[in-house]
């Protein structure tokens, strides 16, 4: 598999591809997923143009139905006449999940909003320890953050 990643400047250890928003990660980041979430992800080697170091596509194999719509700031549903909606939600602002419904998953996608790539606090902390990430994290548990 081969990927072209258009990111200006320094290559990052964790980015999302343009196609399907697939996570593409360095070997150091892949090692975090291997160590802390071996049952939650699949890692596929990918060649990144212009890079000699190994990179991997991360596939979150768990899909969990745990959106807490009542605690989300704002939700937008797909139009009923949309011929190919990806899920029930078009977009969610201030996403909140019910952690009691995550079934212990450390990494997962949401059943009705597959755009979101959810990681546990332990995974987040380990990823931040790797550094040079091209992603940011937003808390999705607890009280909604004010506007």
Domain spans of the chain, in order of start: 2-130
What is the reported pLDDT for 47?
83
d(CA 60, CA 72): 23
pLDDT > 70? residue 20:
no
Mean of pLDDT values over 25-50: 93
pLDDT > 90? residue 51:
no
Mean of pLDDT values over 125-136: 89
Across the beta sheet with 63-64, the strand order is: 63-64, 107-110, 113-119
What is the reported pLDDT for 87?
60
Residues 6 or more apart from 142 whose CB is under 8 A from it?
Answer: 96
**Does the pTM of the predicted model rise above 0.95?**
no
Return the half-sphere exposure (C-beta side, CA atoms, 13 A cut-off) of residue 52. 0
Instruction: Please identify which residue in the block is written with the tokens 């994290």.
Output: 137
What is the reported pLDDT for 16?
67
What is the reported pLDDT for 115?
84
Mean of pLDDT values over 55-69: 95
d(CA 123, CA 32): 7
Mean of pLDDT values over 10-16: 67
Instruction: Please identify which residue in the block is written with the tokens 């992603």.
Output: 135
Cβ-in-10-Å burial (0-12, 13-18, 19+) of 26 comes to buried
pLDDT > 70? residue 7:
no
Mean of pLDDT values over 135-139: 90
* Of 39-43, 47-51, 70-74, 108-112, highest mean pLDDT: 39-43
d(CA 105, CA 4): 30
């Amino acid at each position: 598999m081969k990927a072209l990643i258009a990111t200006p400047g320094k290559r990052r250890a964790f980015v999302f591809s343009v196609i399907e928003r697939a996570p593409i990660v360095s070997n150091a980041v892949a090692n975090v997923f291997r160590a802390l979430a071996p049952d939650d992800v699949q890692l596929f080697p990918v060649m990144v143009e212009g890079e000699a170091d190994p990179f991997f596509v991360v596939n979150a194999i768990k899909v969990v139905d745990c959106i807490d719509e009542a605690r989300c700031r704002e939700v937008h549903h797909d139009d009923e006449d949309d011929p190919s909606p990806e899920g029930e939600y078009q977009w969610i602002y201030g996403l909140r999940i019910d952690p009691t419904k995550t079934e212990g998953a450390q990494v997962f996608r949401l059943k009705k909003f597959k755009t979101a790539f959810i990681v546990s606090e332990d995974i987040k902390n380990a990823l931040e320890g790797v550094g040079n990430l091209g992603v940011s994290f937003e808390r999705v548990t607890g009280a909604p953050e004010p506007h």
